[in-house]
Chains A and B, each alone.
Chain A
Amino acid sequence: MSENPVEVVDLHKSFGSVKALDGLRLTVRPGEVAGFLGPNGAGKSTTIRVLLGLQRADSGTARLFGGDAWRDAVSLHRRLAYVPGDVSLWPNLTGGETIDYLTRLHDSADGRSERSRRKAELLERFELDPTKKARTYSKGNRQKVALVAAFLIDPELYIFDEPTSGLDPLMEAVFTEQVQQVKNAGKAVLLSSHILSEVEKLCDTVTIIRGGRTVESGTLAELRHLTRTAVSVVVTRNPAAIAGLPGVHDVTVSEGEGVSTVDLSVDNARMGSVLTALADLDVRGLTATPPSLEELFRRHYGGNAAADESRRLEVVS
């Protein structure tokens, strides 16, 4: 039986008159790292809380491994680890004690000594001092405590709700590494995040939600296909014809000494014909930047033209 680790269909949830979830869909397949994107207040955390059986959906299905997220919460929780975005700890417990407390309810497949060896390893990797009381930890260190506990459990499914908020870039890299590892081990991961580069690096699929509904979902490749690639090309011949090609947008030309630099964006589906046309212009240099998640994100949430412009300039330089 290989049920999907996460299966959410047509989920609805209201708080009073506020609709938090309005027909949300979300699937995480076995062995898949799924990105879960949306602006603040889109319903990401509510979805996760419903999946954890902490809140009850008004209608729709929320299933983990084929089990009902509310009814079977206890047995399902044996198979997952959860890290919230804002970790609050017991002030007078040390980090090490907290990690033990949060992991002891999960059976360890490989025995106590193995777990304590892995605990030491994770503590070292995350550079966390387990002897300090939690009240003295900074936000990033509290986050690390929850992350170490989650990776120590070694479950079938990881649910991360903005797990790297408060971590410095080095620790973010350690997190990325750890997720790669569990991915290689065939675990499923649901990663809610604001950090698009993190999602791009790690995720096989992405679900983008807005106002409690799913507006886009698919593999990163599929989503990219819907967007355009930014191309910057240096040519010696007159580039005027390019602007007229189908699938070409936003053409700007700047003249240099004997060469012209052309910036354009190209629908991915038309890339072949555009490249053929460019080949005739005596190309001296070419940069192609694949569409980023950020552009996808902007498309759904209404981008800001100035920011868009500055990004394009970056690409050229």
Chain B
Amino acid sequence: MSAPTLNATRPVPAGRTIPTAKPAGTAALAGTGYLLRFMLRRNRVRLIAWTGSLALFCGYYVVAIGAVYPNAADRQNRAASIGNAGGTLLAGPGYGLEDYTVGRMFANEMSLWLMVLLATMNILLIARNTRAEESSGRLEMVRALPVGRHAGSVAAFLVVVIADAAFVLFGSLLMIGSGKLAATDTVVLLTGVMLTGLVLAGITTVTGHLTVHSRAASGLAFAVLGGAVLIRGIGDIQQVHGSWLSWLSPIAWAQQTRPYAEVRLWPLGLSLAAIAITLAVGAVLATRRDLGGALLRGRIGPAAAAPSLATPFALVFRQQRSALVWWLVGCVAMFGPAGLFLGTDSGASLQDIATQNELTSTIFGDDPIAAFLAIMMLHNALAVAIFTTAAVLRIKPEEDEGRLGLGLSRSTSRTAWLLAHLSVAGIGALVLLFLGGALPLWVGSSLSGGHTALPTLLASAGAFALGVAVLITFTTALYAWAPRLSPLAWVLCALVVVERFFGTVLHLPAAVKVLSPFWWVGDYPKADLDPVHLIALGTVSAVLAAVAVTGFRRRDLAAG
């Protein structure tokens, strides 16, 4: 090893720019390209899986609706069934319903879902590459390198921009190629979807500065996304093609470009402005805080544990308590207002739509309110499915980071720990289904003079609880037997969503449908509950729980 002498050790190589001479703005971004390449490499599997499956879904959907609705009359029937309150809530503002082409159908019915999925990817990626890096302590080491203050956040945002742009490119190619859709409208539609996704990415950049944990940062961003979905839905129901309320939601900005029906670009200016604002706010917040710090300070807690904090269950519940409370707040905020919609006036207007349109009445049954309720309870149950899957999977980092081993070194059994996680998820599911879904809907409906029967809502919540039980026990069993594969539990969640919302449109084979626990629940109260189905769900979850316990008692724990 060469032994250079004092102070003559490292001559600055000729030609190397001296960064101090650069303006501060450039120094703050030093190393962005380097971090970007690293993030792309580190997330490559994730990025390819997300963007690839989203782009493929676009192409497949175009092909599928071409097959299911081969001629204009079929599509017109579909337009009639979607042009009501429930349809508007799940789809879009309904431009071009009078001549429902494949493109218009895609724009109206798919753009919302694409935006939700793309925004979910963006939120998770930003949180993972910014706040999670920071709270793990890795960012501290990276920031000790010659790397600018904003380089990390900018690189994380660019990762998302690249992924989204790839989605726009491949999605457009597949849609234009498979459905012969107008190229301009397709690109405008997917660009609008991308920009809405980037608005949410920008919001996550901001929330990452507010909270210490990446989970809380992404949670706040998901709350904004949920609010955006709800506001757009209510706004579009209030007035054909959207009221002023719709325009408050980034979801609307993409839908209001009216792809395949008099396309216009200016609403995307709102998205661009929102992206610029969130990034500017994020940059200002970044310079105002210390590494590892957050603008919302953590509170201090009690010095001694409550007497009840003695069992594995109590500990797991304590860890997940605040998440559950926030989910409950979110559900009440979502379904309370939705219940107001079931009042006499709106109920009458729903009824009007149904009687005016023969086809709607056949699809929605005699009771459009029941159909609306079914959709609301399904939304609630899907939210619960996401909550419970995340809740069960929290045992994985407990194991990987050695906390589970520490817990098991006390005189507690593996079964106790596994069942603790399982039952906390189960209790959370019951709380969210009954107190977050059924009750707020009933209260909202009663306040606005509706006549929704509480027992109907409770029965629906109870049926979905059995469906959620299968999801919980499946996730637990997957974790118990093959912990490395446990994130695949999300695939079952995705299957449930696809089956419920697109099962009919996509003509999913029955063999696939039966894999979705919510298919067994059905469309209650629009259709009756089948006791045999419910017993089957209960039996399957009991078996899966037993399988989970058996597996968890057999395998090695991961080294902490």
Contact = CB atoms under 8 A, between A and B. Distances in A.
Choose among A54, A80, A89, A146 the residue with the greatest number of B CB atoms under 10 Å from its CB: A54
Contacts of A187: 9
A88 B139 CA distance: 9
B411 interface: no
A87 B5 contact: no
Given A77-B146, A186-B4, A67 B20 contact: yes
Interface string A1-20: 01000000000000110000
B80 interface: no
Given A31-B7, A109-B10, A56 B290 contact: yes
A67 B19 CA distance: 12
Interface stretch (A98-106, A230-238, A248-256): A98-106
B31 A105 contact: yes
A181 interface: yes
Given A74-B148, A77-B145, A105-B145, A54 B13 contact: no
B225 to A, nearest CB: 28
B143 A30 contact: no
Given A54-B291, A77-B145, A84-B137, A185 B3 contact: yes
Nearest to B3: A185
A225 interface: no
Nearest to A92: B42
Choose among B2, B3, B144 the residue with the greatest number of A CB atoms under 10 Å from its CB: B144
Interface string B120-148: 00000000000000001110111111111
A155 B20 contact: no
B421 interface: no
Choose among A53, A55, A78, A184 the residue with the greatest number of B CB atoms under 10 Å from its CB: A78
Nearest to B17: A75
B3 A54 contact: no
Contact of B141 (A75, A82, A93, A156): A82
Contacts of B28: 74
A110 B2 contact: yes
Contacts of A90: 42, 138
Contact of A75 (B2, B13, B27): B27
Nearest to B38: A101
A156 B144 contact: no
A135 B11 CA distance: 38
Nearest to A48: B144
Q: Is the interface of A mostly helix, strand, loop or mixed?
A: loop
Given A93-B42, A101-B38, A105-B34, A75 B19 contact: yes
A49 interface: yes
A296 interface: no
A84 B27 contact: no
Contacts of A167: none
Contacts of B290: 49, 54-56
A186 B9 contact: yes
Nearest to A87: B141
B297 interface: yes
B145 A102 contact: yes
A287 interface: no
Interface residues of A, number: 53
Interface in B38-77: 38, 42
B6 interface: yes
A127 interface: no
A16 B296 CA distance: 12
A99 to B, nearest CB: 12
A86 interface: yes
A224 B9 CA distance: 32
Contacts of A156: 9-10
B16 interface: yes
B30 A74 contact: yes
B146 A88 contact: no
A136 B559 contact: yes
A67 B143 CA distance: 17
A2 B7 CA distance: 8
A78 B141 contact: no
A75 B146 contact: yes
Interface in B7-26: 7, 9-11, 13, 16, 18-20, 24
B145 A73 contact: no
A77 B11 CA distance: 15
Contacts of B138: 88-90
Given A84-B141, A105-B34, A118 B7 contact: no
A312 interface: no
A14 B39 CA distance: 33
Nearest to A186: B6
Contact of A118 (B1, B16, B149): B1
A71 B146 contact: no
A184 to B, nearest CB: 6
A107 interface: yes
Contacts of B292: 49, 54-55
B205 to A, nearest CB: 19
13 contacts: A2-B7, A52-B144, A53-B143, A54-B143, A54-B291, A72-B20, A75-B18, A78-B146, A87-B137, A88-B136, A109-B11, A185-B4, A186-B4
Given A105-B145, A155-B10, 11 more contacts: A52-B144, A54-B144, A54-B292, A74-B147, A78-B146, A80-B144, A84-B140, A102-B142, A106-B146, A109-B10, A185-B5
Interface of A: 2, 15-16, 30-31, 49, 52-56, 67, 71-75, 77-82, 84, 86-90, 92-93, 101-102, 104-107, 109-110, 118, 121, 135-136, 146, 154-156, 159, 181, 184-187
